[in-house]
C-alpha cells in the first residue's frame, strides 16, 4: 500500500514514519525542516512502546503534491486553516476512488475536503495523542491513545496495524469529533500557561478553567442534541466535576490524565511560542460558532479565543489564578 501524508509536521511525520516502519510505501509533503530530518533518517520514540528507526530510503518527501498521485490513501494532517489550500492542491492530483483521511483537529474539515475532492472517498479520523520533537530527527509520542476513524476505513486498517497503530473503526465519528474537540479545549489554556501539559494539569485553577470551557460546550451540545463520544475513562459529563477536584483527590481519581511525557505541550502552545497562527478559531471558536447558531453565547470559550489572539501579538504567560479570574469575571 502506498500512503501519502499531506502535512508532514509532528503528527504527520510520526504517523507516516510509523507506517513506513511497518512496511508501507510512504510519500510525504512537508516543510524543508522535515525533509532534512527524513534525509538523515527518523527516530521514533514512544511513551508506551519501543523505539523505531526509519532509514532515509523508507520515505520520500517533497513539496510537490503530484508525488501523491499513485497513493491509494492520503492522510491530511495540516492545520485546519490550511484545509482549503490542501484540498485545492490535491484536487488535480488524486485518482478516482482515492481514500483521503483527515487526521486534524476541529470540526468540518472532512466536509471541506469532500466538496473540493468529489473523486475521492473522504474519511474522518482523530489522533488523540500528542507528538513532540525533543531534537532534530526525533519524533516522540508523548501521550497515549488510539487513532479512531470511520468504519469505512477498514481497508486501511492492516497498514496501521502493521505500524503498531491499530485503528479503532467507529460508526459514530461525528460524536467522536466533538469528543476530541472537548479535549482540545485545553490547548488554549496550555498555550496561555506556557507550561508543559503535565505541569499545567497538575494545577487546580488551570483545571477549573478547562472545566468551565468544557461545561459550556457540553451545555451547548446538549441544546443542539449533538451526541458526544466518550474517549477516555470518564463520560464527558463527569470530566468537568473531576477537573474541579482538589489536587490530592484529582491525582488519586484521575492520575491517568497526568501520564504525559514531561516535555509534552499542546500544538497550540508550540504555535504560539513560534509566533505562528493557531487553531483556536477552530477549537474554542467552534464552540462560539455553535452558540451563535443556537442564538446563545459562549463567554468562556470566546474569552479564551480572544486571549490567544492577544497573546500572538503581545506574548504573555498567564498564572492559573489570573486566567481563572478572566474566565469567571
What are the residue boundaries of the structural domains of the chain, listed by start? 2-171, 176-328
Give the mean model confidence (pLDDT) for residues 143-148: 92
Percent of the chain predicted with pLDDT > 90: 88
The pLDDT tens digits for 52-79 are 999 999 999 999 999 999 999 999 999 9
CATH number of 2-171: 3.40.50.720
State in words which class domain 176-328 has.
Answer: mainly alpha
Q: What is the pLDDT of residue 328?
A: 96
Give the mean model confidence (pLDDT) for residues 140-163: 94
Tell me the pLDDT band of 47, cut-offs 50, 70 and 90: confident
C-alpha 2: how far from chain center: 23
The pLDDT tens digits for 176-204 are 999 999 999 999 999 999 999 999 999 99
Cell numbers found for residue 70: 499513485
Tell me the pLDDT band of 258, cut-offs 50, 70 and 90: low
Cell numbers found for residue 110: 472532512
Average pLDDT, the chain: 95
Q: What is the pLDDT of residue 267?
A: 93
Burial of 284 (0-12, 13-18, 19+ CB in 10 A): buried
**Which H helix or E strand runs over 138?**
strand 138-141
Q: What is the pLDDT of residue 257?
A: 67
Question: What DSSP string describes 87-126?
Answer: HHHHTTTPPTT-EEEEE-SSSSHHHHHHHH-TTSEEEEEE
Give the mean model confidence (pLDDT) for residues 234-261: 88
Q: ∠ CA(143), CA(35), CA(180), 5° rounding?
A: 30
The two domains 2-171 and 176-328 share their CATH topology (first three levels equal)? no
Amino acid at each position: 500500500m502506498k500512503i501519502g501524508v499531506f502535512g508532514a509536521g509532528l503528527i504527520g511525520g510520526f504517523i507516516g514514519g510509523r507506517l513506513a516502519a511497518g512496511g508501507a510505501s510512504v510519500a510525504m509533503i512537508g516543510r524543508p525542516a522535515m525533509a532534512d530530518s527524513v534525509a538523515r533518517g527518523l527516530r521514533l520514540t514512544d511513551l508506551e512502546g519501543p523505539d523505531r528507526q526509519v532509514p532515509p530510503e523508507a520515505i520520500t518527501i517533497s513539496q510537490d503534491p503530484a508525488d501523491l498521485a499513485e497513493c491509494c490513501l492520503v492522510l491530511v494532517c495540516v492545520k485546519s486553516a490550511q484545509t482549503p489550500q490542501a484540498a485545492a492542491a490535491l484536487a488535480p492530483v488524486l485518482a478516482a476512488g482515492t481514500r483521503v483521511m483527515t487526521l486534524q483537529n476541529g470540526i468540518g474539515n472532512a466536509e471541506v475536503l469532500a466538496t473540493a475532492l468529489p473523486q475521492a472517498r473522504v474519511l474522518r479520523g482523530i489522533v488523540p495523542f500528542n507528538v513532540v520533537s525533543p531534537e532534530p530527527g526525533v519524533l516522540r509520542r508523548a501521550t497515549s491513545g488510539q487513532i479512531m476513524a470511520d468504519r469505512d476505513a477498514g481497508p486501511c486498517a492492516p497498514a496501521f496495524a502493521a505500524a503498531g497503530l491499530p485503528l479503532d473503526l467507529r460508526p459514530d465519528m461525528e460524536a467522536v469529533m466533538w469528543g476530541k474537540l472537548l479535549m482540545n479545549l485545553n490547548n488554549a489554556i496550555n498555550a496561555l500557561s506556557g507550561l508543559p501539559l503535565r505541569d499545567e494539569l497538575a494545577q487546580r485553577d488551570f483545571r477549573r478553567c478547562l472545566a468551565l470551557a468544557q461545561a459550556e460546550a457540553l451545555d451547548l451540545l446538549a441544546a443542539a442534541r449533538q451526541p458526544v463520544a466518550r474517549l477516555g475513562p470518564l463520560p464527558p459529563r463527569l470530566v468537568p466535576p473531576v477537573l474541579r477536584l482538589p489536587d490530592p483527590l484529582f491525582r488519586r481519581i484521575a492520575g491517568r490524565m497526568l501520564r504525559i511525557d514531561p516535555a509534552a505541550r499542546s500544538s497550540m502552545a508550540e504555535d504560539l511560542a513560534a509566533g505562528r497562527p493557531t487553531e483556536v478559531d477552530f477549537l474554542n471558536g467552534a464552540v462560539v460558532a455553535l452558540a451563535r447558531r443556537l442564538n446563545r453565547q459562549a463567554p468562556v470559550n470566546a474569552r479564551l479565543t480572544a486571549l490567544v489572539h492577544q497573546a500572538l501579538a503581545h506574548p504573555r504567560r498567564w498564572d492559573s489564578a489570573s486566567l481563572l479570574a478572566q474566565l469567571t469575571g
